[in-house]
Amino acid sequence: MSNTEFPGWHGTTIIGVRKGNQVVIAGDGQVSLGPTVIKGTARKVRRLSPGGNDVVVGFAGSTADAFTLLERLEAKLEATPGQLARASVELAKDWRTDKYLQKLEAMLIVTDGEELLIITGAGDVLEPEHGVAAIGSGGNFALAAARGLQETEMDAESIARKAMSIASDICVYTNGNLTVEIISK
């Protein structure tokens, strides 16, 4: 199967974990071009602070496309302060209907410490079950690991780090150089 059949799912791993009063988003640092590792220390998790409200975003897919979406999300958050779900739905609607945005190949995990959402170019804004969201080529490995670890005494950060470690051991497009952002509410 070619990469175009699964846009936004190839070449990285991003996980969001909610446990207790913490939400953590972690992402690996590997950038691949086909079978070649181009960079191992990329930052695919960012903290935005529109209007003084912290939001953490992790992205998988095309970097340029993701940055375009991050700018749009930040504008939506400034227009609807403190309303992550509403801003996410507005972004997803634009992404689905705008001819320019429709071509963007990326996926986002976003949190404000209360909500944890996945936003896709198909117009989806999904709140995952069990307090875990994962995207990217190693996303299913990290998701399975984190779901299993949710039942332990580990906190959200420890779960995210361990799940990413497991994913990086299995997925050749994921490495262990992590960027981790935490929001506590």
SS3 of 41-78: the string is: CCCCEEEECHHHCCEEEEEEECHHHHHHHHHHHHHHHH
- pLDDT grade, residue 77 (50/70/90)? very high
pLDDT band, residue 10 (cuts 50/70/90): low
pLDDT greater than 70 at residue 5: no
Could you give the count of Cα atoms lying within 13 Å of 31 in the half-sphere of its Cβ? 10
Q: Convert the pLDDT of each residue in 104-125 to its tens digit.
A: 888 999 999 999 999 998 889 9
Is 29 a residue whose pLDDT tops 90?
yes
The per-residue b/e assignment along 59-86, b for 16 or more CB within 10 angstroms, e otherwise, is bbbbeebbebbbebbbebbeebeebbee
Where do the H-state alpha helices sit in the chain? 63-79, 84-97, 139-149, 156-170
Q: pLDDT at position 160, please?
A: 98
Catalytic (active site) residue 68: no
Provide the pLDDT confidence category of residue 63 given band limits of 50, 70 and 90: confident
Q: Which amino acid is at 32?
A: S
The catalytic position among 4, 12, 13, 63 is 12
Domains detected in the chain: 6-174 (3.60.20.10)
Q: Is 117 helix (H, G, I), strand (E, B) or coil?
A: strand
